[in-house]
Structure 1
Amino acid sequence: MVPTLFEKAIPLLNKIEQAGYEAYFVGGSVRDYLMGRQINDVDIATSAFPSEVKKIFPHTVDVGIEHGTVLVLENGEEYEITTFRTESEYNDYRRPEAVEFIRSLVEDLKRRDFTMNSIAMDISGEIHDPFNGYEDIQSRVIRSVGSAKERFSEDALRMMRAVRFVSQLGFALEVETSKALAEHHSLLRHIAIERVTQEFEKLLSGQNKQKALELLLSSKLYNHLPGLSSKQDSLIRMTNLPIHSLTSAESWLLLLYLLQEEQPKHFLIKWRLSTKTIKRLCKDLTFLQERLGNDWSNYLVYCAGLPTAHRVENVYSVLEGKKSVEVDYITTIYESLPIKNRSELDLTGNDLLQWTNKKPGRWIKQILDTAEKSVINGEIQNEKNAIRGWLHRCKLI
């Protein structure tokens, strides 16, 4: 049965065809459908030019009209509909100088990166596959459409896409495509870091990331990734670990640990990661280093927080070469904590000022920290009078 996302979009193809033009589902959605994978969105290609698409549909947005893409708003959904096109010379190894709108599906599919992504499906579910992409899918092969050297020279990001697909799909590169990757790896330096990072993060989320990292090494692509040109040994070590089940966030953490950077934050900044992501990874790294020398305690779980503790434990288990059995234990510890954050502590700085008549100062934070830790460790109840009595007995106030 055709997936629901295709079914929802069929009325759009109907309207385009009723207007006298061709329309097809194309790209990754067709590939994933043929592989039985989950489909998250659909792309539509048509022989109708952008101005003609806009006449067919009353509600549109010109999201990329210079490249033939019109965003169509239909029945509460958004669909990107792109005109068949050919492309001129690529002078920056990323984008063509110009595009020409055409009426030929085959010519449009010819400009795409890999055969598995150069398959179209019409409204009846019939497959149009001029470059034998389905055969390559069945053979689990990633093959460039036409000359791999030309495809990579046109758009150097396709090299990272090839490696990313190895990780996500578990496919192998066809021989000529693999050779071209090794010969043209230096072209990656022309690509914006943000685009490279997007592909690298997708690579790290795949279950076959070990195979993909090996390909980064053998092709020398790693030499053009931020901060990795001199880190071959660290990458080799990562490929020798059982990393298949790690998430992208956990894979970043493992890589960061293996690199042993003196300033991990500066390394992450080179990748143009968000400030939030960098902060999280640096925090995770701190707790991973703590975990490598200690078992989980109530206070360590409390300070880390449950998401960090789980990520850290999964990476720790990979480094130790054993199955993670502590994750449920960590969850049990966390759920049993008397408080989950400082705001739940039944003690404030104002309480301490009232009880002591002292002037404000660093001593307040020191006492709050001590009381917080004692509550977490079960030494005192999280109740104001109990805490006050404990502080008197310890001669802290």
Structure 2
Amino acid sequence: MKEPFLSALPLIHEIEAAGYEACFVGGAVRDFLLGRDIHDVDIATSATPAELKTIFSKTVDVGIEHGTIMVIQNGKSYEVTTYRSEGDYQDYRRPESVTFVRSLYEDLKRRDFTMNAIAMDKEGNFIDPFAGRLAVEKKVIVTVGSADERFQEDALRLMRAVRFVSQLGFHLEKQTEKAIKEHVDLLRHISVERITAEFEKLLDGKYKKNAFELLFHTGIYKRLPSLFNQEHVVQSVTKLEISPLKELDIWLLALYFSGEHPVTTLKKWRLPSKKIKLLSMALSYLMLRKDHFWSRDELFTAGKEIALLVETAFLTIKREDVQLAHLLDKYESLPIKSLKELTVNGNDLIRWTGKQSGPWIGKVLHEAAQAVINGEIANHKQEIRSWMENCRLI
């Protein structure tokens, strides 16, 4: 056993000392078996939330109605959840009721996939009633019990299955894949926000190419909010070497192939405005990059983040090695990287001209910045002022 399990062991000891069962469960156990990095652990117990509160002095009710409380110990927080069984599901997402139980088996039985239904006790022994370790060993994603029932209970599991393919490199068990194809229309009951959360994790997975192939073959892509619900977009992206790319890279590639207005289509995913703005700007620079290499003006205006994003997309589309050193060298050679580095600011312009503040300030500063980055003038206040006066900008 290793961290972060070791740090959480005292909680299990305290729960057991009080007369209850406790063990590690879920994704942390699965990732332990896979040798993956583990950041958080989840603890399941036969103790109810009320009983847990008598054991630990510092707790927070993060999801107490579903049996989860956060225990704070030694400056760290741990989610501890009571064993539970669930009633019938409503709206293909949430159970109508949750019942606290004393049986670990009953708790594991309600989980989505066998690889996530493995528990580990304080000695490092595994409790694995549904052959989850075998699934991990064979790198297969298979539902706990009936695949039809699991997906009808919670349709988001359709997305989770493909997301795990992207993250873990596993493949879908035959009946599990068959059930996904048959129940793909259930995704219409799932909120855009939840679909987007799963999809963004998928886009950052190492095996996203396999996941994209599954999105297409299972028909899930047809139920996505926009952009990736177009066959030619999914197929075009899948044909490229996308494995090493990050989430933003894939969004940009999809926008390029779709030809749709970036703001309109990305809003359908409920993406943050900041991300939409960044991708929209990146798309405009990608269209310029098709015709020529970066000018100094374009590098300055775009900024390092967008420039690297665009260059990665451009080289991927061209099926060339993603080599960014030349671009970075040119960017680093810029005498200034932003308007903030210009030695003249808006207060200077107001003082020199006696004019009121207004949009004119930004225009003048931008022109001065362009002159500096193109080597027409040095980034010295007096030289910039003289240049502005000669150009009749002030």
Short-chain TM bin: over 0.9
Structure 1 residue 287: deviation in Å?
1.8
Give the number of aligned pairs.
394
Structure 1 Cα separation of the partners of residues 391 and 75 of structure 2: 64
Take 1:247 and 1:142, find their aligned partners in 2: how far apart are those partners? 24
* 1:388 Cα offset (Å): 3.8
Where does 1:266-277 land on structure 2 (aligned, <5 Å)? 266-277=264-275
Instruction: Report the equivalent of 1:341.
Output: 338
For residue 56 of structure 1, report the CA deviation from its aligned partner.
Answer: 1.0
SS for the counterpart of 1:153 is helix
Q: Does 1:128 align with 2:114?
A: no
Query: In the aligned structure 2, how far is the partner of 1:389 from the partner of 1:159?
Result: 65
Structure 1 residues 126, 347: closer, same or farther in 2, change over 3 A?
A: same
Q: 1:365 to 1:99 in 2, by over 3 A?
A: closer
CA distance 1:350–1:19, shift in 2 (3 Å) = closer
CA distance in 1, matches of 2:285, 2:228: 27
Structure 1 letter corresponding to 2:125: E
* Structure 1 alignment gaps of length 5 or more: none
Compared with structure 1, are the counterparts of its residues 102 and 293 closer, same or farther at alpha carbon in structure 2 (3 Å cutoff)?
A: same
What secondary structure is seen at the aligned counterpart in 2 of 1:347?
Answer: coil
After superposition, where does 1:1-397 map in structure 2 within 5 Å? 2-228=1-227, 231-261=230-260, 263-325=261-323, 327-348=324-345, 365-391=362-388
Superposed CA deviations along residues 146-171 of structure 1, whole A, max 9, x for unmatched, are 00010000000000000000000011
> How far does residue 334 in structure 1 lie from its aligned partner after superposition?
2.5
> What percent of counterpart residues are identical?
53
Shift of the 358–205 alpha-carbon distance from structure 1 to 2, 3 Å rule, reads closer
Distance apart, 1:387 and its partner CA: 2.6
TM-score calculated relative to the size of structure 1: 0.94
**Displacement after TM superposition at 1:278 (Å):** 1.4
- Check conservation: 1:116, 1:134, Cα contact below 8 A: yes
State the Cα distance separating 1:273 from its structure 2 match: 1.0
Q: Distance in 2 between matches of 1:337 and 1:229?
A: 37
Q: Which amino acid aligns with 2:272?
A: S
- What amino acid maps onto 2:291 in structure 1? G
**Cα separation, 2, equivalents of 1:303 and 1:329:** 18
Equivalents in 1 of 2:137, 2:97: separation in Å?
35
Give the distance between the partners of 1:245 and 1:229, measured in 2 at CA: 19
Give the whole-Å Cα distance in 1 for the aligned partners of 2:73 and 2:335: 51
SS at match of 2:85: strand
CA 1:177/1:377 → structure 2, altered by over 3 Å: closer, same or farther? same
CA distance in structure 2 between the partners assigned to 1:154 and 1:358 by the alignment: 66
Distance in 1 (alpha carbons) for counterparts of 2:361 and 2:196: 44
Distance 1:292 1:329 in 2: 17
Q: Structure 2 counterpart of 1:14, which letter?
A: H
In structure 1, C-alpha distance between the alignment counterparts of 2:60 and 2:143, rounded to whole Å: 32
SS in 1 for 2:93: coil
Cα distance change on mapping 1:394 and 1:28 into 2, 3 Å = same
Could you tell me how far 1:390 is from its partner in structure 2?
A: 3.6
Preserved contact between residue 222 and residue 228 of structure 1 (Cα < 8 Å): no
Which AA in structure 2 matches 1:153?
Answer: Q
Displacement of 1:329 in angstroms is 2.2
Alpha-carbon offset, residue 246 of structure 1: 0.7
Q: What stretches of structure 2 of length at least 5 have no aligned partner?
A: none
In the alignment, the residues of structure 2 paired with residue 381 and residue 106 of structure 1 have an alpha-carbon distance, to the nearest angstrom, of: 73
Please give the secondary structure, in 1, of the residue aligned with 2:226.
coil
- With 363-372 and 334-343 compared, the bigger mean Cα shift is at 363-372
